[in-house]
Structure 1
Amino acid sequence: MAGTIIGVGPGVFIVALLWVLVLLLCVLLSRASGFERFSVVLVFISALIITLVLWFFPRASEFPEPATETKIVDTFFIGRYVLVSVLSLMFLGSLFLVLIHHVLEPVYAKPLRVK
């Protein structure tokens, strides 16, 4: 099924994002004073209406179209391999430099107390 992530469509993510934003907005508005404080109810009801509209009036059909056989070709394999190689070399180089810095850290002598 095209357009799915983890087996669910984009509508689930839209509804989840909607409710996360509504929760954040409700928390922010609950700290306000006056009429703005009571607008939490309006935000909640509007999010509920939007969710019900998305739930009862979906755009996609209930039965997916039969899948056609597609051949997946990784055209960026060499570029990805070069990128991973360069990043691995940079990681090993920086690890070497950190270890050299740690090993060669100067140890200063403590001053002697002279009476």
Structure 2
Amino acid sequence: FNYDIETIQLRFLRILSEQASQNIIFNCGNTNIDILNHDVKLRTKNGMMYQMYSLSDDSLRYNIIKDECKYSHGQTILSISTNKSVRLPIIDIEFLNNFNRIQNFTINIGPVCFS
């Protein structure tokens, strides 16, 4: 995923913002999968890696908006937020467990919102 923004613009947005949030949408097609029980890493634009299972108040927090993939086909939507705006945007997601066997699975990384 690529953010079409100049580095200096992103730097000023981060400096002038107290919070940042971003949504990640998992489209699981016809596959049932518990995304949150997989070893998932989030890579941010500044090169940091965060593991979903260890997200906490001192790094990034996540809120489950919708979790259809766990029980049936559909979508799982996560809202990622932080009080340290330098930690967003998320630009890549890595699954460490046998995720390559799953078909019809897509991920949409939404725009980051600074406030």
Tell me the TM-score normalised to structure 1 length.
0.21
Considering fraction of residues, name the structure with more helix: 1
Task: Kindly name which structure, 1 or 2, has the bigger radius of gyration based on alpha carbons.
Answer: 1
